[in-house]
Amino acid sequence: MADLLFPVFDVPQVSIQTKTEEKKYKRSLAWDMEKGDFIVDGANRIVESKGREAYQTWCIKAVQTERYTCLAYPGAIGTEMEESMKQPTQEATKSHVERTISEALLVNPKTEYVRDFVFTWEADKVRCNFTVKGKDLEEFTLSIAIYNN
């Protein structure tokens, strides 16, 4: 009689399938870093960039964007380079730059790691080279210049 009141059944296995398009890097509009504008072809149409190039462009733009200065972006997007350059020593500046760049790029779930920071100190700026690895991508090196204000 208890079997009728409380039936027993096997719980089915639930398999979560990830979409293949979520694993791929999406294409985007091509961006010219030197001009600070979209790249257009001869017919004045905006050129598209493939997934790897779009991801690299996103990384550069994320690092070059000062956090909390653009209302369109949430607080997790961007870096704190102005704060980094106010640090009292070169070692503190290095540490702050590494932290803020890593945080900015690791916001993207497709970023596997950021490492191998190399700093070159010049009179009015600091050049920072670092390696980024996206999931299912080869490592690539980015270089930015941080100017003293």
Quick check: 131 pLDDT over 80?
A: yes
Q: Is residue 14 part of a domain?
A: no
Q: Which residues fall within 8 angstroms of residue 46, CB to CB, at 6 or more apart? A: 29, 30, 38, 39, 40
Q: Is residue 20 part of a domain?
A: no
Q: Is residue 109 part of a domain?
A: yes
Q: Is residue 107 part of a domain?
A: yes
The model's pTM is 0.76
User: Does an H or E element contain 128, and which?
Assistant: strand 125-134
Mean pLDDT throughout 116-130? Answer: 90
How many distinct structural domains can be found in the chain? 1
Q: Is residue 117 part of a domain?
A: yes
Segments forming the whole domain that contains residue 49: 26-147
Predicted confidence at residue 12, as pLDDT, reads 65
Indicate the range of 15-29, 65-79, 131-145 predicted with least confidence.
15-29
Q: What is the pLDDT of residues 54-84, one digit of tens each?
A: 888 889 888 988 888 877 777 778 888 888 8
Q: Is residue 12 part of a domain?
A: no
Q: Is residue 16 part of a domain?
A: no
Residue 47 sits in a domain whose CATH number is 3.10.450.40
Q: Is residue 119 part of a domain?
A: yes
